[in-house]
Amino acid sequence: MLVAVSLVGVMGAVGPAAAGSASSVAPATVKVNMTDYAFALSKKRVAKGTVVFRVVNSGDVVHDFRITGKKTPIYATGQSGVLRVAFSRPGNYTFICTVPGHVAAGMKGVLKVTS
């Protein structure tokens, strides 16, 4: 009986505290499809915290994805990768392709981060 009471006490202390902590919140995932010359994001609005961008180049030329100073490598057609970015404040964050001429061709957008 004493063991059962101890386990309930431990579970009660760990369960709710962990559920409410920031570290237990799964990062948001945003799929980024790069084509010639546009981005298509699966979400245009996310809550602040860590966001995992799953980036794929479906276009016919090389592209990359840059947001808040972090960027992917340049991907050839069919290549993909992951970029993790932590957003500590709400706001509008511009994303671009840094390949010369691609922003002018339309490879830019805005991700809204909410509180």
Residue scoring higher pLDDT (49 or 5): 49
The lowest-confidence range among 8-22, 29-43, 83-97 is: 8-22
Q: Go through 15-40 and write b for each residue having 16 or more CB atoms within 10 A of its CB, e for each that does not.
A: eeeeeeeeeeeeebebebbbeebbbe
Residue scoring higher pLDDT (7 or 38): 38
pLDDT at 53 over 50: yes
The pair of three-digit structure tokens given for residue 79, joined into one six-digit string: 């290549």
pLDDT at 19 over 90: no
Q: How confident is the model at residue 25 (pLDDT cuts 50, 70, 90)?
A: confident
The closest of 6, 13, 77, 86 to 46, measured between CA atoms, is: 86
Q: How confident is the model at residue 18 (pLDDT cuts 50, 70, 90)?
A: very low
User: Exposed, middle or buried by CB within 10 Å (0-12, 13-18, 19+), for 54?
Assistant: middle
pLDDT above 70 coverage of the chain, percent: 79
Distance CA 49, CA 47 (A): 6
| Whole-prediction pTM | 0.78
